[in-house]
Structure 1
Amino acid sequence: MHTIVDRDDDSSSGSATTASRPAQAGSQAVAASSLAGAWRRFAVRRLIGLVTNIILLIFVTFFIVQLIPGDPASAIAGEDASQAQVDQIRVELGLDQPLLLQLGSYVAHVVQGDFGTSFHYKVPALQIVGAAAPYTISIAFTSLVIFLVIGLALGMAVGIITRGDRHRWLDHSFNIGAGVVSSIPAYVQATILVTVFAVWLALLPPAYSPAYSVVQSAILPVAALSIGCIASIARIVRRETSVILEQDYMRTARGWRLGSGTLYAKHMLPNLLTTALTLSGIILTALLGSTLIVEAVFAWPGIGSVVVQAISEYKDYPVIRASVFMIGTISLVFNLLIDVVLGLVDPRTLGDDRG
């Protein structure tokens, strides 16, 4: 009798185990389907947002040149030109037409990828900006990677060292120092870097020059763009590190005597990455704005140098519009990439309607 019961029990246990396997497989399939659906909704949402922002950007690029003082026709004609010559150039450029008619013509051409012909260079404006864009993208992307990696590592390190009110002097000094550094404008940092490393120490070129390699010329511009961002990211990450270290799951992990690599890299880093990537999306817009100024300081042949010259000297509307559009598009694409990486790191953010 006992033998029969034992067999029944074993049979019941095996049946339960067998039944649980399809249930587990089913739950995994549901989770995978839910994640795929979240990615589809994310893609649709971001695509709609991208198209909407590009449409708004087209209108912004048209109207922004109206705020620039000066007359392009007068700049092209020169100081000694007569009013008749200036008026003739204005007619040739189409600047004599009503504003709404100019807007309609501009939108119709931009949809076809035509921002007009440069007033000064007499070539398509997008060609000029396209040639400068790789230089801007290179230092902006490099700065983004550097301030994320170094800022994250620095903030984590200080947060771990000062855990539980240890080394309070380091905590206060770091907060004050990071706050001061992050408040210094990038162009001021660029000037300081040139003075120290190019003038005093003569280690690096003060500006872009064919006499030096592109890497050598890029070191100071990238540093000027990265230093303030590193301080901003590190300051926030240090505070987040202190909060995470006091969470119950981190206390439990420390109680298990896990190694430092497992404890910090596996259990803490993913949460910090979410914070750092979210912040980088916010900082990126300011970084691109700073890039335009820093490029002018270092004579870096990027969009910044092109747009500054187009505004200050030539009043070159097509180049200005193409430059602003390109910078806006770069910002949108970078933010989209950050959102994708953020979704891969933490799929919960796929349902977040930020930006």
Structure 2
Amino acid sequence: MNSSVDASIAPSGPGAPGGPPSAASREPRASSLAGAWRRFLVRRLVGLVVNLALLVVVTFVIVRLIPGDPAAAIAGEDASQSQVDAVRVELGLDEPLPEQFLHYVVGVLHGDFGTSFHYQMPALDLVRAAAPYTITIAFASLVVFLVLGLAIGAAVGIITRGDRHRWLDHLFNVGAGLVASVPAYVQATLLIAVFAVWLAWLPPAYSPAYGLGESAVLPVAALSLGCIASVARITRREVAVVLEQDYMRSARGWRLPSLRLYAKHMMPNVLTTALTLSGIILTALLGSALIVEAVFAWPGLGTTTVQAIAQFKDYPVIRAAVFVIGAISLLFTLVIDIVLGILDPRTLGDSRG
């Protein structure tokens, strides 16, 4: 019997080799994916709890590394030693460190970081008032550097595919590397000099006289520029690799429209790396926000933390602000991991065929 006859009598229904998958074959795959999601979420939630516990320890220890005595700062320069000691007793700083740590942990579990030494109000209330300002510019910067970084990196990668326009590739790498290497506070100073002082287009610092959006342009730009350069460089490299894959060559051979070719077939593979990188960049961005906010007098967690450290030695406010900044970073990273799992289930950590 020849091969054509064999083929004609070969099973071709659901579940047969070469045929569409049967319902029975789809169920294990769906079950495996659901199990992978459960294990992924359990791992991430356990990691989140562990990191929050470590954050509690770090925020307690870190204030001890700050030079200066908060009791002396509150009592004033002309206070006697007995007055300073009385303030120390009032603040509870005379207690042994283990006892202070126990009180701190119990308070954190109840959402209480203590009373501000300077403002005499709950430290968490001060942080709650400042947090929306930091979250606003951090989220805006995240959106800006992802959109622009992906767009610029993908455009350069497509234009320079196959060693085309090598001058553009070299110019891009040098320019992006230079921008990424400049600290955010230096970029903030340059932006103020150009757009606030020289051109007088934007306010140099936050002021109720200006709208929130107008005042946020320069802080967001200062936080985003270096991140845009970093994401663009990584995206350009990923695009160069993806465009040389066999499936992309086949797609180009089929003469697919450019939008479908790049948006549907290229970008999903590039997004995985870009989003993974953005989680790391976001952590550094929140750290940079502490300094950038001080440059622009932005009333966020950065300004609150700097004042608490430099002026008041306000331990409860410092602990609450650092804890909230760390918690925001952990939650943003968790959200990015979940988005990555939706885009590419392979990032869930299970090896599945």
Task: Choose the corresponding residue for 1:192, options 186, 190, 193.
Answer: 190
**Unaligned 5+ runs, structure 2:** none
Where does residue 178 of structure 1 map in the other structure?
A: 176
Cα distance between partner residues in 2 of 1:74 and 1:221: 35
Where does residue 223 of structure 1 map in the other structure?
A: 221
Q: Are the structure 2 counterparts of residues 16 and 46 from structure 1 closer, same or farther at C-alpha, using a change threshold of 3 Å?
A: same
Where does residue 40 of structure 1 map in the other structure?
A: 38
RMSD: 1.8
Q: Match of 1:17, SS?
A: coil
Q: Are the structure 2 counterparts of residues 312 and 170 from structure 1 closer, same or farther at C-alpha, using a change threshold of 3 Å?
A: same
Task: Choose the corresponding residue for 1:110, options 102, 108, 111.
Answer: 108
Q: Are the structure 2 counterparts of residues 18 and 263 from structure 1 closer, same or farther at C-alpha, using a change threshold of 3 Å?
A: closer
Cα distance between partner residues in 1 of 2:15 and 2:98: 70
Where does residue 155 of structure 1 map in the other structure?
A: 153
Task: Choose the corresponding residue for 2:47, options 49, 68, 72.
Answer: 49
TM-score of the superposition, structure 1-length normalised? Answer: 0.94
Tell me the number of residue pairs that the alignment of Structure 1 and Structure 2 aligns: 344
- Deviation per CA, 1:82-102: give whole Å up to 9, x if none: 111000000011111111111
Where does residue 310 of structure 2 map in the other structure?
A: 312
Q: Are the structure 2 counterparts of residues 311 and 136 from structure 1 closer, same or farther at C-alpha, using a change threshold of 3 Å?
A: same
Shift of 1:18: 6.0
Where does residue 128 of structure 2 map in the other structure?
A: 130
Where does residue 205 of structure 2 map in the other structure?
A: 207
Task: Choose the corresponding residue for 1:17, options 4, 13, 18.
Answer: 13
Q: Are the structure 2 counterparts of residues 330 and 18 from structure 1 closer, same or farther at C-alpha, using a change threshold of 3 Å?
A: closer
Where does residue 301 of structure 1 map in the other structure?
A: 299
Shift of 1:32: 1.3
Q: Are the structure 2 counterparts of residues 108 and 248 from structure 1 closer, same or farther at C-alpha, using a change threshold of 3 Å?
A: same
Cα distance between partner residues in 1 of 2:129 and 2:178: 36
Q: Are the structure 2 counterparts of residues 18 and 340 from structure 1 closer, same or farther at C-alpha, using a change threshold of 3 Å?
A: closer
- 2:148 counterpart of 1:144: no
Cα distance between partner residues in 2 of 1:183 and 1:75: 38
- 2:348 counterpart of 1:350: yes
Q: Are the structure 2 counterparts of residues 226 and 19 from structure 1 closer, same or farther at C-alpha, using a change threshold of 3 Å?
A: closer
Where does residue 251 of structure 1 map in the other structure?
A: 249
Q: Specify the code of the residue in structure 2 equivalent to 1:227.
A: L
Cα distance between partner residues in 1 of 2:199 and 2:33: 54
Shift of 1:16: 5.1
Check the 8 A contact 2:282/2:329 in 1, yes or no: yes
Check the 8 A contact 2:13/2:20 in 1, yes or no: no
Q: Match of 2:143, SS?
A: helix
Q: Match of 2:129, SS?
A: helix
Cα distance between partner residues in 2 of 1:215 and 1:263: 37
Cα distance between partner residues in 2 of 1:199 and 1:229: 25
Where does residue 88 of structure 2 map in the other structure?
A: 90
Query: Could you tell me the percent identity over the aligned residues?
Result: 72
Q: Are the structure 2 counterparts of residues 236 and 22 from structure 1 closer, same or farther at C-alpha, using a change threshold of 3 Å?
A: closer
Q: Match of 1:211, SS?
A: coil
Check the 8 A contact 2:206/2:215 in 1, yes or no: yes
Check the 8 A contact 2:153/2:232 in 1, yes or no: yes
TM-score of the superposition, structure 2-length normalised? Answer: 0.94
Shift of 1:160: 0.4
Q: Specify the code of the residue in structure 2 equivalent to 1:47.
A: L
* Superposed structure 1 runs of 4+ greater than 6 Å apart: none
Q: Are the structure 2 counterparts of residues 246 and 23 from structure 1 closer, same or farther at C-alpha, using a change threshold of 3 Å?
A: closer
Q: Match of 2:299, SS?
A: coil
Shift of 1:17: 2.3
Q: Specify the code of the residue in structure 1 equivalent to 2:293.
A: E
Task: Choose the corresponding residue for 2:321, options 312, 320, 323.
Answer: 323
Q: Specify the code of the residue in structure 2 equivalent to 1:71.
A: D
As a proportion of its length, which structure holds more helix? 1
Cα distance between partner residues in 1 of 2:137 and 2:41: 28
Q: Are the structure 2 counterparts of residues 178 and 352 from structure 1 closer, same or farther at C-alpha, using a change threshold of 3 Å?
A: farther
- Deviation per CA, 1:277-315: give whole Å up to 9, x if none: 010011111100001110000010100000000000000
Q: Are the structure 2 counterparts of residues 16 and 352 from structure 1 closer, same or farther at C-alpha, using a change threshold of 3 Å?
A: closer
Where does residue 261 of structure 2 map in the other structure?
A: 263
